[in-house]
Amino acid sequence: MRVPKVLVDFFKREDKFLILTHVNPEPDALGSAIALSIALERLNKKTWLFNRDEVPEIYKFLPGYEKIRNSLPSYVEDFNLVLLDCNNLKRAGIEHKLGFKSSAVIDHHETEDGFGDIRWIVPDAAATGLLIFYLIKELGLNIDNDIALNLYSAIAIDTGTFRYNNTNPEVMRVSAELIESGVEPSYVANCLYNMWSRNRFSLLIMSLNTLELRDGIAFTHVTIEMLRKTNTKPPDTENFANFPRMMGDVKVSVFLRQDGEDRWKVSLRSKDEVNVAYIASEFNGGGHKNAAGFFINGDLDTVKNLIYEKILSKFTIGFNTKA
């Protein structure tokens, strides 16, 4: 992977960086931001990490997570903006104008947005963490233990620990290097998958109890009432959409999280052949081929029917209708 020279020069030349990433941050966003910040500080640069949302409890195993702030610096105009794992300010939860000095975008999501003075957007890259790995090496720095753990976690989450179709030889070789820099893969896997709270697990069971199967499509949901009953929060539903995919004849898993009286956050997960980014875009959402999402208004049954019809209208074949 070739890092654009203009990007390397930007980091070498400038001194103050405001690193932003998307709302509801997960380890690819968090790990990329923290790793880049650690690296830049080793070059005696000043960094300010901002996220609109709190770092979820479950991701506080990432070394340096406490660097991420909930507020912007007073003099934004002194900072160069670095937008990671997303490619427009809206995704970072910034609705107003920011008076930053200049800006760079590093991301692996498809985009038609033109934001950013410097843009390094590689949709083929499995994770933004992979891009940050190359960038840090290009800046002439070693991958130390903390950087490695952040970047490995970024890659692990975005490849489903090497289970998704973005897993390729490059992903494996970079991960090999990160393990050599001190990462214990089983530690990361336990942090990512085996540190659920009892309440979150109870919520998962509740959600699985709502399972409805229609042609190769699985629907599960979580209501605000269920969150209240289990004393959980929306980020606790992360990954819930993946469970119904365990069934061989489920081609698309639709998970709906209630986000208001008649408002739902929808997560779509699919197997190889079905491109759910296409479905999500029809509802003004976005994402990747096998993992996408959007918001939708309406009561649960209406919303489920709408999504069901949309998927069937786009993918008329390939569903096994047998029980």
169-180 and 145-158 helices, crossing angle to 10°: 150
Smallest separation (angstroms) from its own copies to the CB of 187: 7
Go through 271-306 and write b for each residue having 16 or more CB atoms within 10 A of its CB, e for each that does not: beebbbbbbbeebebbbbbbbbbbebeeeeeebbee
Asked if residue 160 binds its own copies (CB under 8 A), the reply is yes
Buried b (16+ CB within 10 A) or exposed e, 30-40: bbbbbbbbbbb
For residue 103, what are its two tokens?
Answer: 């800006």
* CB of 139 vs its own copies, minimal distance in Å: 23
The minimum distance between CB 124 and its own copies, in angstroms, equals: 15
- Of 253-272, binders to its own copies (CB under 8 A) are 271-272
Contact letters (x/-) for its own copies, 180-219, by CB under 8 A? x---xxxx-xx--xxxxxx--x--xx--xx-x-x------
First and final C-alpha spacing in the chain: 46
Give the DSSP letter of residue 268: E
- Per CB under 8 A, the list member of 142, 168, 302, 313 interacting with its own copies is 168
Q: What is the closest distance, in whole angstroms, from the C-beta atom of residue 253 to its own copies in the complex?
A: 10
Among the residue ranges 67-75, 83-91, 142-150, 239-247, the one whose residues contact its own copies (CB under 8 A): 239-247
Residue 321 and residue 323: Cα distance in Å, rounded? 6
- The stretch among 86-94, 110-118, 160-168, 306-314 that binds its own copies (CB under 8 A) is 160-168
CB closer to its own copies out of 116 and 244: 244
Are the C-beta atoms of 49 and 33 separated by less than 8 Å? Answer: yes
Residues of this chain that bind its own copies (CB under 8 A): 160-165, 167-170, 172-173, 175-177, 179-180, 184-187, 189-190, 193-198, 201, 204-205, 208-209, 211, 213, 244-249, 271-272, 323
